[in-house]
A and B are shown apart, each in its own frame.
Chain A
């Protein structure tokens, strides 16, 4: 859909109505799921929505057409016409997606019509984890859950949620506040706590910096797989495309430094294979060359920062980063000599010193003087006015859950993404899940109060990274397929039953708040809301960058390289572009999508370098046992020619105990053997700090690779 046609559609579509005249007869015979509407068979409608497959918050448009589903009426199977969703595309008006969408976002519709979705509320009927649930009605579920909640100390409720922010998180915050419970917490994985802290340390900003890579002439990314599973892949892929070939006569250069040959390394002109944990040292080494050789004038780096870089032991830093001095020096010189240089910092794989590493990478931008400059770094967009809510943040969980009486799980799967919490979660007296699938965590809940699928619910989402203040909005436009309820509505109901009445933050109330705060807004509130609903969100104006605040406290040294003869390999589980942190593994479109690195489908392998494979005498598809101090797993091996010797990588996504028919029991979860040492600044689990040893496996694991070239055993070199 092009921009012109989309404008045309938003001009006609309103409030979920499917217009037309031919469906009258059908509506009289069998009530449609969309009330008071008529469907024209074959005609399409496009409605704005927002993707919730990750925290990026891409605005989307959704194609709705007539379909028929089979239902039982008085013992007979009849066909019921419904308004069904056929396709999701990016919203061309949205500044994050710009009309584009990633593989995960496109596949989200399969979650809506998945055959294994929760069809209604359930009560655990057997032991936790047995999968033995009984279906109950909503009134029973809500009254019993409310009665149970009333019997517990509200201060000992832990509400686990994702890093997503919007009307849902704002309503949850009101609920928790009204009943006297502590604020919600993320689970520390995939919530960008490290990048947030680093932004605060380097620039004094609350939120993730916006990297203007589209206008950069030379970009160095350190640790941020921004074209793969990190942060906002559609947003940065669009900008990357522009950097490469969107400017006549200018082709931006990309150098990527990471301990894995990630998607971003694929696209880079040069890859710097940093030793795991060597990112901080690399940033300091590059800063040393720029500062001590005075390669760049900048009034943004104060003298103490410049001196910190000058005082860095260059040789020691290069050694710690695992890179040759000449290579580092070359990159530093090229970077400083470029017209519009940029350094992107991130931690796709979190290690104990990641906040410091990302801070140091960000501070290279101060040295380059590119804050607020074209092709440089911009501050995070302010939150939309009037939506007074904080983005859920990570609070160290082991202790909290250890003391908790009630745990509520909303939009996350901690027993998959943070399996080290299983022991403390098992001791909690009441576990309530809002999952729409029986996932690993829901299986251990006492109650499942299933949420609508994201395409069925009305929601406003504040994007993780956006060039402007933004609220992407999804009005309701199809009726729920099953007896599910929107979690904000359930929380409002529970609050009422606990004598703590709250008003939910709805999409319209959020738009009204934004209108109330916008001093220069001339339209009437009703017109403003109507316009925002039609176009799929509200986007404010860009603003100039604030002067960054320079850090006053010292950053501290990089972590020394770790060696352990008992566990000689560094182990790095990594988020994938198809599954993220495992949240979309239940979708068959994504299961059959070849893994970019190994070309594996329906399973994900352990990746080792050719020399290690030769030592272990294993070939592609053989089984490897990976043993850490915290556990062990067996998985097929992929001999990856790009793997750094001594570093074992494994994509995250498989190994779900239960997550629908397409993911349950497939492969192994690399996070299950992680030793979750805390990241030093944030306390978030450093899932990339585990060391392992490798043995030949004993079980037969299947590795199916799509690419014919990979199906042949790779000869040892």
Chain B
């Protein structure tokens, strides 16, 4: 890991009882199958982007697979990685919001408050990962497609910015379930939709301040790195690089 990056062991919460959510993605397991992309659409009521929308660069994906070619035929390889909001500890999107619609919560989530957002798009402009998506119009689901919508997730109207939330509704449900059962949230209780669905089991999610959690274990291995971490954004998504 580069010296400029923040090792997982240094990630701390202000309070010992408050988790700091993070993710690790093992690129050696990942097959680029995009199951995570559809899982996210289903879970988070992502609007349908028509062909015209897509042609204007208005596709809505909270997670995408970046793909780069390396080398030339026949010794060509493809490098790819799922890219989602990196939930940066020093998030460039946060200080530029004029209405405080995006901020860092106590658990380290880079939160977007939809009913505060006035759609300046400064945050998207300032995000080096290009993971923020703007709603140019009110979303439409021709009936009865709307029956599938997840009632746990708000529908975002036109003029509002949106992004990956680490499936905050699942985090919330996991905490409430644990509370109802009179126990602490255990590692693995909470899984965002992308992590849950991943066929190659290439993603881990959990509390980065718990050294025993799967995500901490993964994030701490030698292959672990952070995307554009040298920018000082302190991302909480760790990538385990592919190695031969």
Contacts and interface: CB of A to CB of B under 8 A. Distances in A.
A269 interface: yes
A463 to B, nearest CB: 15
Given A42-B151, A113-B145, A601-B51, A593 B78 contact: no
A157 to B, nearest CB: 35
Given A263-B33, A273-B73, A644-B73, A593 B144 contact: no
Interface string A1-40: 1100100000000000000000000000000000000000
Interface stretch (B2-10, B154-162, B196-204): B196-204
Given A266-B80, A641-B69, A707-B67, A103 B147 contact: no
A240 interface: yes
B33 A237 contact: yes
Nearest to B59: A706
B29 A244 contact: yes
A333 interface: no
Contacts of A644: 73-74
Contacts of B30: 267
Interface stretch (B42-50, B85-93, B106-114, B228-236): B42-50
Interface residues of B, number: 63
B31 A237 contact: yes
B180 interface: no
B49 A238 contact: no
Contacts of B38: 103, 106-107, 589-590, 593
Interface in A173-195: none
Contact of A273 (B55, B74, B130, B149): B74
Interface stretch (A63-71, A299-307, A354-362): A63-71
Interface in A478-500: 481
A82 B72 CA distance: 55
Interface in A81-107: 82, 84-90, 99-103, 106-107
Contacts of A115: 142-145
B205 to A, nearest CB: 12
A644 B72 CA distance: 11
Interface in A591-645: 592-594, 596, 599, 601-603, 609, 641-645
A602 B42 CA distance: 18
B164 interface: no
B42 A106 contact: yes
A90 B28 contact: no
For B65, B143, B144, which residue has the most chain A Cβ atoms within 10 angstroms?
A: B144
Nearest to A115: B142
Nearest to B28: A244
B33 A86 contact: no
Interface string A419-430: 000000000000
B199 to A, nearest CB: 4
A350 interface: no
B188 A2 contact: yes
Nearest to B218: A245
B41 to A, nearest CB: 5
A269 B77 CA distance: 9
Contacts of A706: 54, 59, 61, 64
A89 B30 CA distance: 18
A234 B32 contact: no
A82 B199 contact: no
Given A103-B35, A481-B144, A642 B78 contact: yes
B73 A592 contact: no
Contacts of A106: 35, 38-39, 42, 197
B69 A642 contact: yes
B37 A266 contact: no
Given A115-B144, A707-B67, A251 B28 contact: yes
A233 interface: yes
A251 B66 CA distance: 24
A100 B43 contact: no
B75 to A, nearest CB: 9
Interface in A212-234: 227-228, 233-234
Given A102-B35, A588-B48, A704 B196 contact: no
Contact of A263 (B31, B37, B145, B147): B31
Given A103-B38, A240-B200, A245-B26, A113 B144 contact: yes
Given A42-B151, A106-B39, A641-B76, A234 B199 contact: yes
B28 A110 contact: no
B244 interface: yes
Given A240-B200, A261-B76, A609-B73, A593 B34 contact: yes
Contact of B42 (A2, A107, A114): A107
A596 B35 contact: no
B191 interface: yes
5 contacts: A2-B191, A227-B200, A241-B202, A704-B54, A708-B130
Closest 3 CB pairs of A and B: A241-B200, A237-B199, A602-B51
